[in-house]
Amino acid sequence: MKYLNDGRVVVTALVLLLFFFSGLLYLYANAGPKTGTNKIVGELKTKQLKILRKLDSEVIWEELDESDPIRYRDTIRTEEGSEAVLLFTDGENTAEIRMDERSMILVEDTDKISFVSGSLSATGGGSGSLQISSGDTKISLGNSDLKISKDENNKGLNLEVKQGEAKVSSSSGENTVGKNQSADLKDGKVEVHTLNLETVSPPDKAYFPIAAETLPVRFEWKNSPTVKTFRLEVAKDSGFRTGLKKLNAGGTNASISLPNGSYYWRLAGKNPESGKDEFSSSKNFKLVSWNKPRLVSPTNKETFSYTEAAPPVRFQWNTFDSQTKYKLEVSSDTNFKQIVYTGDSSAGFLKWEPKNEGQFFARVKMNSDKQGFTELSSDTISFVLRKSEQAEPPKLLKPLQGEEIGIRIFKVGSFFSWSSNKEFKSYSLDIAADSDFKNILFSKSTNSNFMKPDLDWKEGTYFWRIKASSNSEEAISSSVGKFILKPLGSIRLSFPKDGSELGHPVDGKLQFRWDRPDPSGTYKLEVSKDPNFASKIFETSVRSGQNSVPLAGPGDYYWKVTLLSPEGEVLTSSPSSGFKTSDSAPFVSPVYPRDRDKIDLDEKASLSFYWEIEGKSEAYILELLEADQKTLKTVFKKEIKGESFDYRELYKLREGKYQWRLSAKYRDSSGQIRTTLPLTRDFEVIMSATFKAPEILTPKEFYVE
């Protein structure tokens, strides 16, 4: 027992246990796809985009591929924009389940599925013994063709039967829902309705190419003698909540111009006998961007130099839809009669390993199996492979040329990085106080393409260069880089903005956010009811850039943030900022993209924006801006009804910094329309498939908010 009192023994034992369990975790994470041992009940027939599965014995979600088996107790879910068709077999009985986007099911048995969220369609075959359950409600599929969806809170259930009959069992008893009937199930009650309204076009699961900002979509339906006025409803989700558009029509057709995206539509009309609205079954269609592809890499007239073997050329282009097929062609002539390489890829990138130098031409062709989609070809680009006597000098990456950096930040993460070349064996980093390198402050060699110099940094201007060495040649010097270390930057208050009016939070807690000029520093947050901070209501010190503050009630508030040294001295302070909360204004909170997010658009079909609202609003104004040098340029500005928006014209975006702004329209106590001050979030767009040299290097220390 005396060994347990020896600190060295205890610490050594704990370290050994840490390494042991870390090793087990590493082996588990790198053991490859988990297959499971439960009984196989079906397979993934087809899919669009990413489909995830969690095995009964696992906690990690893994992606499913087509023809992968589905097992008992598997949980399957679809992400935004994705769809899955699952085929279940049990002897002579079969059932096909089509899961829409953002849906989830649990396979409870060979003939029982638990419907968790979203919407799905099911078609039974054979004796049709498959049962779909949701809470206490059980739906026997039989030989029917039906559709099930849940409401926004996953409490209510809607069932539509297109063919056959389905039996619904709940706490209120058993009901039979037949062809062209629907049922609303909530709180154990079942209401069955006859679907007297019949839609014609667009058909369910239809695709349409869209080449412009919007496409006029023509909707058609059959006439119903009992309905005088039809109401066309189009939404972004099966529950008809997000982006809902309504249009009254007296005839049997109407047109609405829509941007690209996935949509659901249905028809509504008032029954003159009951006085209640009746709805048709809902159908889904998609508008797919169909513009000629654009080669992103290589750039036009780019030159690749080498001294020994020709380097591989990586091609990347923008993609529009996961089911679109792309063919890359590389030729030695502009007419593509002497093609030297062809390749197919739906991911948007390919690698070609050339054998010889010369000038080459490349293009990408796109086509689709869907009806109405014609083949398109990108503009042709040219590039040159050139063999040189001497390798190209290294390119300086970080710090950026002329970059101004806060000295305290630089002392924490003073990383230098540059491009690498397999022909170089070593690199030497030189840092000097003058551009002629007569006063060299630091010089050290390395085999890597990055380094953190051990130097006592002072405020001022510095110059740096890289000398690359190979076995057969003299050292090759890069260009000279310049950066400036300046005093600590000021603190910028991010939210709430100065002069803004917000809805008072329902729980009384408001999240304050600010930028941190020193990631490792301690920040003092002060909130007061007066601008002189004589009547403070809150004060705390934190090491992060945000903190939740309880507010007693609606009114005027003031806040500021101070950066403290380890000794408690004030290093820098923000100016004070004032804002107001009220009961009439809605409280809008941008959710995604978050501040300083880095969003990789590789293999994404859209850039999604989400926000939350407390209170009532008439609409939202969403604006996306691109940082162009020192100005912000508007990419789009839209008025939106829902609490989310998918921007799918990704070909208009490029790598760089962006800002999105969100404000809400609402009615004040007098009934007048007002608009809240816009809330902003800054984020960065990256495209990993461009295969650029990495610019971010992992530090040895992490600072967690």
Q: Which residues pair with 673 in a beta bridge?
A: 667
Most confident of 242-246, 249-253, 461-465, 661-665: 461-465
Percent of the chain with pLDDT over 90: 18
What is the average pLDDT value for the chain, to the nearest integer?
81
215-221 vs 199-201, strand pairing mode: antiparallel
pLDDT of residue 397 exceeding 60: yes
Region 242-266 average pLDDT: 84
Region 665-691 average pLDDT: 76
More confident residue, 443 or 113: 443
51-54 vs 62-63, strand pairing mode: antiparallel
d(CA 102, CA 107): 17
CB 288 within 8 A of CB 208: yes
What pLDDT, in 10s, does the model give residues 208-231?
998 877 889 999 988 877 777 888
CB 232 within 8 A of CB 259: no
pLDDT of residue 705 exceeding 50: no
Strand locations in 574-630 (E): 577-582, 587-592, 597-600, 607-614, 619-628
**What pLDDT score does 378 carry?**
92
d(CA 673, CA 669): 10
Query: Shortest CA distance to 685 belongs to which of 652, 662, 661, 637?
Result: 652
Confidence band of 692 (pLDDT split at 50, 70, 90) = very low
More confident residue, 433 or 595: 433
d(CA 278, CA 206): 24
More confident residue, 519 or 497: 497
164: left (phi over 0), alpha (psi -120 to 50) or beta: left
If one counts every other C-beta atom within 10 angstroms of the C-beta of residue 311, the result is 15
pLDDT of residue 31 exceeding 70: no
pLDDT of residue 341 exceeding 90: yes
pLDDT of residue 431 exceeding 90: yes
Most confident of 414-418, 435-439, 590-594, 691-695: 435-439
**What pLDDT score does 702 carry?**
46
Confidence band of 518 (pLDDT split at 50, 70, 90) = confident
Q: What are phi and psi of 689, to 5 degrees?
A: -75, 0
List Cβ neighbours of 644 (8 Å cut-off, separation of 6 or more): 236, 242, 243, 608, 609, 610, 611
More confident residue, 599 or 48: 599
pLDDT of residue 505 exceeding 60: yes
What pLDDT, in 10s, does the model give residues 603-646?
677 888 988 777 778 899 999 999 887 788 899 999 988 888 88
If one counts every other C-beta atom within 10 angstroms of the C-beta of residue 24, the result is 10
**What pLDDT score does 561 carry?**
94
**What pLDDT score does 7 carry?**
58
pLDDT of residue 32 exceeding 60: no
Give kind and range of the element (H or E) at residue 573. strand 570-573
| Helix, strand, coil in percent for the chain, rounding step 5 | 5, 50, 45
d(CA 254, CA 623): 30
CB 570 within 8 A of CB 560: no
pLDDT of residue 582 exceeding 90: no
Q: Which residues pair with 562 in a beta bridge?
A: 524, 573
Query: Shortest CA distance to 394 belongs to which of 482, 475, 301?
Result: 475
